[in-house]
Amino acid sequence: MTVTQQRATPIGRPLGLSEAEVAERRARGLTNAVPFETSRTYKRIIFENTFTFINTALFAICIALAALGLYGDAVVTVSLVIGNVVVGIVQETRAKRKLDSIALLMRPTATVIREGEERTVDPNDIVLDDILVVHPGDQILVDGEVLDENGLSVDESLLTGESDLIRKRVGDTVHSGSFCMTGSGIFIARKVGTESMAQQITAEARAYRDVRTPLQREVRLVLQVMLVLVAALSIQVGIAFYESPDDPGLREITQAAAVLVSLVPQGLVFMVTVTYAMAAVRMAGSGALIQRMNAVESTSNIDVLCLDKTGTLTTNTLVLDSLEPIGVDEEHLRTVLGDYAAATTAGNRTIAAIAAACPGRERKVVGEIPFSSSRKWSALAFDDAEGRGFYVLGAPEMIQPALRSADGLQPRVDAWTERGLRVLLFAYRPNPAPLPDGQSEPSLPAGLIPMGLIALRDELRPEARETIERFREAGITLKIISGDNPDTVAALARQAGFPAGIRAVSGTTLGDLDEQALMPVAQETTVFGRITPRQKERLVSALRAQGHYVAMTGDGVNDVLALKRADLAIAMRSGSQVTRSVADIVLLNDSFAALPKAFLEGQRIRRGMRDIIRLFLVRTLYVALIIFGTSAAGAAFPITPKHNSILALLTVGIPVFALAAWARPGNTPRRLVRSGSHFVFPAALSIAWVAFVVYMFYLSRGAEVITARSALTTITILCGLILIPFAQPPNEAFTGGTSLNGDWRPAILAVGLLGVYVGVLAWPVAREFYGLEVLGFLDYVILAHIAIAWAVTLRFAWRLHALDRLRAAWHRVRGR
């Protein structure tokens, strides 16, 4: 629906299209209608969370369990899959709704001229050859050709990354995604819909982007290895059953199959999702919207963070840094500057900064020349009781030729420029100069008298210096990629806390470099200026090719390609819609001060998952080794599904939730599984050996199989519970497998779970449900002493680094 609205404009107005012409173009499909994708679609969210390798594998396990008649186990497995999918969808859908609401609030409108009248319309209602009007602050929504203008300057930073305003004249092209900042203009729509520049740049943003974190890749590898292990072990057990002199029976075979299938750590996948959800909850209210579940964990892997200057380090506003009066006192200079800023009709960031620092009065203006990025100055003529005169404000190098005297100006200009400041010269002539009639190009009159130099600086975000320091302390390399002048950006970076000797290069020097030559430049350089969107993408790719885990922040369409190439994409709330839609994290307050908290949460996830993976792997390996050993010895299958369920519940199922909730931030190795081998293999091998000996001892004494199985279940539960404080040592007595944690809660939990197991043994209903048999008091005393002896021995083996010594000896033997 369109709404008719009259609005005066200072420039000429064509009639525009008629309603019939608009209807004819709509019928031909020549409209600006493009899919309004504020974020990922619900379909994509559901697809990405449902159809994964891990979920497919777990579904296959579920089918296998159901085929064996173990419907309860099948329900548990499918519940884990559904829980995994639902948690992911709910979290990412919540983020989508938030982004959608932001996009709707920020969705622009367009002003078109049709049948001689201005109308405010939705962007999708624009058609080819429509006549559009723009005023300061309006977004240009289609590509077009300027028909008329009055000091029109546009900001194309979202497209190019350059913050300088671009002057547009009749016949020039304006691009969708840019903004009218000064003056006004009328242009005709030449490219609409998918043909516009912004849509062409963002076309690649709609391609599928699937970034898996190192943790997710490791978990997937663990599942793949376990599937192979289960397949191999199943063959071995099957052969043992076939060669057994006694008929094992269908029930025994079915139970063995159920235990073997359960060796695949199905809960490990669910715990990854749970820890992601916990982190998202803890991040709520921090100013960071988590759009992808794995984004928080991904932050902990970052070793290179690429920042954009505008909107990231700075607030996109200028502030007055210094004034140097020339021939007048500072108070008078401030008064005239304030009057100049107050009287200027075509405002911009420079005028806003001066107005904020120098309050002004309303003066009678008899002429005005708006600022132009090509001539780099603006001018006003006053004629009232306060005085008469022609005043000009602009770049010193553009005004100096018209000065009566420029003695002593250049040293101060050079000194301020080297500091990264934006230097302006303010000059005047006592009598108002004749102003151009609008048809000729304005020029400066000779004999101008300098009144003062003005230094402006980009306003750093208040949290920028502290945030940068926190990232540097965390060992993260920071790089700034900008469309602005590299020297200016480097000076600003030094103000924000970067070292004095940082290296800066211009994008013009990168164009001829191939991928191999670009790598060392990307590695060694801190500031990149005058960079195009494609060069941003190439720089991110070059850093990733050297093994870096790269995060990229951006706000404009020009950042989209680099964001999609990065391991972690971070967008600003005020940025373009397409940038927010491809981002993993959206900074709701446009402040990257939220990132250090996300980094700590990512560390918390990895530390929690480090302990969770260790417990899962230890349990899986020792159960597999026990099955292998007893099968090779020709003994009865050692574990039933019910025994396995209580063993898994008490030693892994309940503890992992607590470990995830109690995890603390801290550094962890990049490869959790490999680094955990020091903990996992000694623990798994020793538990398997102890349990195998206990089981075979009971069988050798003529005990019933159920008695031997109950003894095996008891010793493995005791060892598994002792392993919990070993995973998070509360004091030095439990260190060896990992470093001191100092948290007593895991140890207290282990004692509580031991009490639960005692309760199960004491309650006949629970004992019968789990298929356990009560042993003699002396049996439990002996098993407890065995568990204690095992713990002491394991701690000794860890402290001796026995596994590392064996590995080193093996490498020495192979090297001979």
Catalytic residues: 308
DSSP 3-state of 460: strand
The alpha carbon of 658 is separated from its chain's Cα centroid by a whole number of angstroms, namely: 27
Q: How many CA atoms lie within 13 A of 241 on its CB side?
A: 18
Contact (Cβ atoms closer than 8 angstroms) between residue 707 and residue 698: yes
The per-residue DSSP string of 40-63 comes to --HHHHHHHHHS-HHHHHHHHHHH
Q: What phi and psi, each to the nearest 5 degrees, are found at residue 78?
A: -65, -30
Mutual orientation of helices 594-632 and 705-727 as an angle, nearest 10°? Answer: 150
Helices (H) and strands (E) in the chain, counts: 30, 22
DSSP 3-state of 599: helix
Q: Which residues have CB under 8 Å from 331's CB, separation 6+?
A: none
Q: CA–CA separation, 569 vs 578, rounded Å?
A: 12
Q: Which residues have CB under 8 Å from 798's CB, separation 6+?
A: 678, 679, 682, 736, 737
What residue spans of 370-514 are helical by DSSP H? 396-399, 409-418, 464-473, 486-495
Strand partners, 179: 139, 155
Q: What phi and psi, each to the nearest 5 degrees, are found at residue 372?
A: -130, 135
DSSP 3-state of 107: coil
The alpha carbon of 511 is separated from its chain's Cα centroid by a whole number of angstroms, namely: 28
**Locus of tokens 């409209």:** 31
The CA-to-CA distance between both ends of the chain, in Å, stands at 83
Q: CA–CA separation, 536 vs 573, rounded Å?
A: 21
Strand partners, 17: 114
Q: Which residues have CB under 8 Å from 163's CB, separation 6+?
A: 155, 157, 309, 310, 316, 483, 484
Q: Which region, left, alpha or beta, applies to residue 214 given φ > 0 means left and ψ of -120 to 50 means alpha?
A: alpha
Q: What phi and psi, each to the nearest 5 degrees, are found at residue 723?
A: -65, -25
Q: CA–CA separation, 567 vs 122, rounded Å?
A: 35
Contact (Cβ atoms closer than 8 angstroms) between residue 339 and residue 331: no
DSSP 3-state of 245: coil
Cα dist from 739 to 273, 673, 728, 790, 791, whole Å: 26, 16, 8, 20, 16
Number of residues in the chain: 816
104-112, Cβ contacts within 8 angstroms, sequence gap of 24 or more:
104/38, 106/574, 106/577, 107/36, 108/138, 108/139, 108/141, 110/141, 111/5, 111/7, 111/135, 111/138, 112/16
The alpha carbon of 752 is separated from its chain's Cα centroid by a whole number of angstroms, namely: 39
Q: Which residues have CB under 8 Å from 294's CB, separation 6+?
A: 211, 212, 213, 215, 216, 276, 584
Q: CA–CA separation, 565 vs 580, rounded Å?
A: 15
The alpha carbon of 727 is separated from its chain's Cα centroid by a whole number of angstroms, namely: 30
